[in-house]
Amino acid sequence: MPTFNDILILLPEFYLVAAACLLLLLDAFMKPAQRPLLHWISIAVLLVAIYLVVAGQPPQAVTAFGGMFVRDDVAEILKVFALGTTAMVFVYARPYLTDRKLVSGEFYTLMIFAVLGIMLLVSAGNLVTVYLGLELLSLSSYALVALNRDAKLPPEAAIKYFVLGALASGMLLYGMSMVYGASGMGGTPTLDLAQLHNVMSYTTAPTLLLFGLVFMVVGIGFKLGAAPFHMWIPDVYQGAPTPVTTFIASGSKLAAFGMAYRLLDAGMGDLSQHWHLMLAVLAVISLAIGNLVAIVQTNLKRMLAYSTISHMGYLLLGLAAAGPEGYAAAMFYAICYALMGVAAFGVMLALTRAGFECEEIADLKGLNQKSPWMAFLMLLAMFSLAGVPPLFGFWAKVLVLEAAIHANMLWLAIVGIVFAIIGLYYYLYVVKVMYFDKPVEGGALQAQPDQPLRVVLSLNALSLLALGLYWGPLLAWCRHAFGL
Amino acid sequence: MFNHLLSLLIWLPVVGAIPVLLAGSARPNLARWLSLLVAVLTFVVSLFLLVQYNPGGAAMQLVESHLWIASWGVHYGLAVDGISVALIVMTTFVGILVIAGAWEVIQDKPHQYMAAMLILEGLLIGVFCATDALLFYALFEAILIPMFILIGIWGGPRRVYATLKFFIYTFFGSVFMLIALLYLYQKAHTFDLATLAALPLTFTEQAWIFFAFLIAFAIKVPMVPVHTWLPDAHVEAPTGGSVVLAAVMLKVGTYGMLRFILPIVPDAGAHFAWLVIVLSLVAIVYIGYVALVQEDMKKLVAYSSVAHMGFVTLGIFIAFMLVRDQGHTDMAMLGMQGAMIQMISHGFVSGAMFTCIGVMYDRLHTRLIKDYGGVINAMPWFGFFYVLFAMANCGLPGTSGFVGEFMVILASFTANPWIALFAAFTLVIGAGYTLWLVKRVLWGAITNPHVAEMKEINGRETFVLAAFAAAVLALGIWPQPLVHLMDSSVSQLVQQLAIHKI
């Protein structure tokens, strides 16, 4: 039976459900003139959620509802950053939504439900919770992509996302059913991740278990957007309204890492000798496809989509190391990528105004002349994405490379570094366009005057520099979460 | 006692760049004066460093070490030996001159130009005193960002191509070094250079790590055949960019060799010394001929830089041959000393040559030799400086160019007279391309009417050129203080060469 203690453990989640429902009601009963208030309320909701997550964090990992839900340090870190980046997305989104008359309760409620999905997913202790969290996140995201339903691209992107996402969910579910079946052959069937851990030792159907594992890796690959399961990424990134793209590039990636960690380490840890090679292969393909295809993109959102694919390749480098060191490095990478992604898309949002969508790389021409500060923030984001020291992205890369070498996969580290050189080009190209090209005569390029956006975006991009200079505490936090 | 002198030297220009940037394009003069102030202050602090440093002590001095990343045991570790001190003082000296040199030449966003220069200066100083490999690497790579911006915004017509090539080329080399460092970290669990130097490694490991280091540093030096980014970058860079590139940035490559290849993989270094020596000789002889046929002044000096840096790598690696194969420790010392002096001297000479070309370019907006001729008639004072630097470039005794080359040739004669023969070719070829350049540009009758209209150098340009001239002559006539400064550090390096690590 659920006890009061169980509910306390899930307090942030319960709070978020209540808050999201309340927001829906508010939206329905508010006068249109008061609607903009929703924005501030939603941000406050997220900030309070961060407080609840941190303040109520138990010193030791605890489980609730009979192991369905795990609250440990890994979950805490991922939740804090998912909530934090989503709050940033809200700040960045306001001028965009206002200019396009998209300010509505739906955006905020769906986003909060998506975050709730992330929180469940990264705390999952059971296959059912994994699936529940994943679907909550995915269904909210599908709807968010189609938010601007009158435009041409968003519905198309949403349908693509939905069809492929449903397929991937099906694969995952199918894999879970096989694992469940294998756990019942020679023992009691279980969905609990902690108990699944030693299925391999007793099951009479190891082949079935491995098959299930493969299907689950496919599901994870899809969620991460790792090649060859990356097909949805470019279209969704390009088609979705930029704030939603920002969310998919940040919070969603943290969730995908959390899901991979829960399923692979907690659930299938005994099979790491099998899945670590699968992940290594996914990593190599992602690095290759992401970096090579990004070079030829002219649309910035699409370019960043392919860059995401390559970044997931680096994240997989850490996961493939299959040890606490590797997980810590991969989590560090996921956090780093979330911050960089929010910053890069944030600059695009800051340059997008009514009637002008900043999304082609050529739109940034001569940005340094028009708005040196925005150009500088984008420069930080680009060099960080490229992995040039002293920026944050460099250290994240160093960590995953070290993890790979540590796990005796020197070859993988060399592949990773070679693609880093190739990837360098398209980030430098963006800097080139901003700094070395002349602005278009009479061009519409101009930064949003919205003060909160400017301040938060500046802090966001400068944090890439600050964390690049002093990343010790964050790394220590990540390592501590994995018992190092 | 104040013991954060090195940190101050690194961060003063980097932090000083912020007010310069804030001055903005609306107040260009404020930005100029501020940046000059920062550069002068940095130079003054570096003079303090020169005073504080005790040339007698062999160990690293003015040590600063703070735990930076606890879980990895990475330290923010800084310390200097004589070589570092010499390079740092040269960097701050050149730092003032490039800012003075760009004064009214850079009209487009001068604040950003000056700020990039200052950040670059701070990072370069950091490279010269980092004692933690990861810190070194981060700074080594971070240099690329301001240089990329400098060439890309203020460069010539093909600046985008040149700057992308420069960035990707150098990045390509250094990432392999990163892998090697991570591999070493697996073995030693630290990035501290002194610990890595004591780490035993098998020959196979050493060989792989040697090549990983070599590719990183050879591209930076640059050595043949990975020098091709240099002529492009130099030609397209603004004058100040070329000066810093030639005077300081190339030294980062040879400095890295001293700090990484020599102590960490001495056995592989000794085994493959012949390769580096051959490549150095190719640079000296072949690139000298290539310089001869250039039609672009900047390209000519760029190629001559490659040839001169060949002497530095020759001097460093000939020491391996002398110590390991023949036991001539004192000759090895001489070769290494020569290489160090060549590094400093080349910094001043090439910096001065690029400044001269910049002065002419500002007036005529062409770098082609054929557009000039008879410049001496219009600008006699400029001609005086130009000839002086040209003489230093071809190694005339009495100028700084002579000292280093002579010592390296002397040392290589002991190792193998054939090597010395090829190296000595430079005296002929170097004189050939430099004097021919002077003949075509300065002497003769004025053929291009625009040359007659060229104005004599103004006070600011005279100051910059005179400062370079003073340095070149001082080193040429009385190199003893510099030799003394680096003496114990060099002997320390040579002793390390003899240690077998297998």
On the question of pLDDT at A121 being above 90, the answer is: yes
**pLDDT at res. A133:** 94
What percentage of chain A carries pLDDT values higher than 90? Answer: 65
Domains in chain B, number: 1
Interface residue of A435, A482, A484 to substitute, partner B, most B CBs within 10 Å? A435
DSSP B195-222: HHHH----HHHHHHHHHHHHHHHHHHTT
DSSP A84-110: HHHHHHHHHHHHHHHHTT---HHHHHH
Instruction: Name the nearest CA neighbour of B13 among B129, B93, B95.
Output: B95
- Which stretches of B365-458 are DSSP H helices? 375-378, 380-393, 400-415, 417-441, 449-452
**pLDDT at res. A1:** 64
Q: Name residue B436's amino acid.
A: W
Closest B-chain CA to A366: B153
How far is it, in rounded angstroms, from Cα A456 to Cα A415?
36
What percentage of chain A carries pLDDT values higher than 70? Answer: 99
Say yes or no for a CB contact (<8 Å) between B138 and A401: no
Say yes or no for a CB contact (<8 Å) between A413 and B142: no
How far is it, in rounded angstroms, from Cα B445 to Cα A116?
82
User: Could you tell me if A350 and A250 are in contact, meaning their C-beta atoms sit under 8 angstroms apart?
Assistant: no
Say yes or no for a CB contact (<8 Å) between A436 and B153: yes
Interface of A with B (CB under 8 A): 368, 372, 383, 388-390, 394, 398, 401-402, 405-406, 410, 413-414, 417-418, 420-421, 424-425, 428-429, 431-432, 435-436, 470-472, 475-476, 479, 484
Chain-centre distance for alpha carbon A71: 20
Judge residue A211's burial from the number of C-beta atoms within 10 Å of its C-beta, 0-12 exposed, 13-18 middle, 19 or more buried: middle
Q: Could you tell me the residue range of the domain that residue A170 belongs to?
A: 4-481
Write out chain B residues lying below 8 Å of A381, CB-based: none
How far is it, in rounded angstroms, from Cα B384 to Cα B399?
14
Mean pLDDT by 10 residues, chain B (502 residues): 81 92 86 93 92 81 86 88 91 93 86 93 94 92 93 89 92 91 91 89 92 93 89 90 91 92 90 92 91 91 91 90 84 90 92 92 88 86 91 87 88 90 87 90 84 86 92 89 88 83 76
Specify the DSSP class assigned to residue A71. Answer: E
How far is it, in rounded angstroms, from Cα B502 to Cα B495?
16
Closest B-chain CA to A427: B164
**Alpha-carbon torsion B147, B148, B154, B156, what sign?**
positive
Closest B-chain CA to A478: B71
**pLDDT at res. B179:** 92
On the question of pLDDT at A299 being above 80, the answer is: yes
Could you read off the pLDDT of A148-185 as tens digits, one per residue?
Answer: 888 888 889 999 999 999 999 999 999 999 999 999 98
Judge residue B203's burial from the number of C-beta atoms within 10 Å of its C-beta, 0-12 exposed, 13-18 middle, 19 or more buried: middle
- Mean pLDDT over residues A305-326, rounded? 92
How far is it, in rounded angstroms, from Cα A117 to Cα A130?
9
Average pLDDT, chain A: 91
Q: Could you tell me the residue range of the domain that residue B176 belongs to?
A: 5-498
- Report CA Rg, chain B: 22
Of B69, B137, B183, which is closest to A405 when you measure between CB atoms?
Answer: B183
Could you read off the pLDDT of A2-31 as tens digits, one per residue?
Answer: 788 888 899 999 999 999 999 999 888 888
C-beta neighbour count of B377 within 10 angstroms: 16
- Report CA Rg, chain A: 21
Question: How distant, in Å, are the alpha carbons of A329, A403, B313 from that of B397?
Answer: 57, 55, 22
Say yes or no for a CB contact (<8 Å) between A428 and B70: no
**pLDDT at res. B326:** 81
Judge residue B17's burial from the number of C-beta atoms within 10 Å of its C-beta, 0-12 exposed, 13-18 middle, 19 or more buried: buried
Domains in chain A, number: 1
Say yes or no for a CB contact (<8 Å) between B149 and A435: yes
Backbone φ and ψ for A321, nearest 5 degrees, come out as -65, -20
Of A405, A420, A479, which is closest to B175 when you measure between CB atoms?
Answer: A420
How far is it, in rounded angstroms, from Cα A406 to Cα B203?
21
Of B109, B168, B182, which is closest to A421 when you measure between CB atoms?
Answer: B168
Angle, helices A472-481 vs A324-351, to 10°: value is 130
Instruction: Name the nearest CA neighbour of A243 among A116, A158, A345, A363.
Output: A345
**Looking at CA atoms only, how far is residue B427 from chain A in angstroms?**
39
DSSP B31-77: HHHHHHHHHHHHHHHHHHHHHH--TT--S-EEEEEEEEEGGGTEEEE
**pLDDT at res. B2:** 62
pTM of the predicted structure, to 2 decimals: 0.93
Instruction: Name the nearest CA neighbour of B106 among B247, B238, B234, B13.
Output: B238
Chain-centre distance for alpha carbon A103: 23
Backbone φ and ψ for B54, nearest 5 degrees, come out as -100, 110
Of B69, B109, B148, which is closest to A475 when you measure between CB atoms?
Answer: B69
**pLDDT at res. A85:** 95
What is the b/e burial string over A263-275, where b = at least 16 CB atoms within 10 angstroms of the residue's CB?
A: bbbbbbbebbeeb
**pLDDT at res. A66:** 86
Interface residue of B179, B181, B208 to substitute, partner A, most A CBs within 10 Å? B179
Of B142, B168, B182, which is closest to A424 when you measure between CB atoms?
Answer: B168
Say yes or no for a CB contact (<8 Å) between B69 and A406: no
Write out chain B residues lying below 8 Å of A402, CB-based: 182, 185-186
Could you read off the pLDDT of B99-141 as tens digits, one per residue?
Answer: 998 888 888 888 999 999 999 999 999 999 999 999 999 999 9
How far is it, in rounded angstroms, from Cα A189 to Cα B400?
83
User: Could you tell me if B130 and B256 are in contact, meaning their C-beta atoms sit under 8 angstroms apart?
Assistant: no
The β-bridge relationship of strands B61-69 and B74-80 is: antiparallel
Chain-centre distance for alpha carbon A469: 24
Of A383, A425, A484, which is closest to B168 when you measure between CB atoms?
Answer: A425
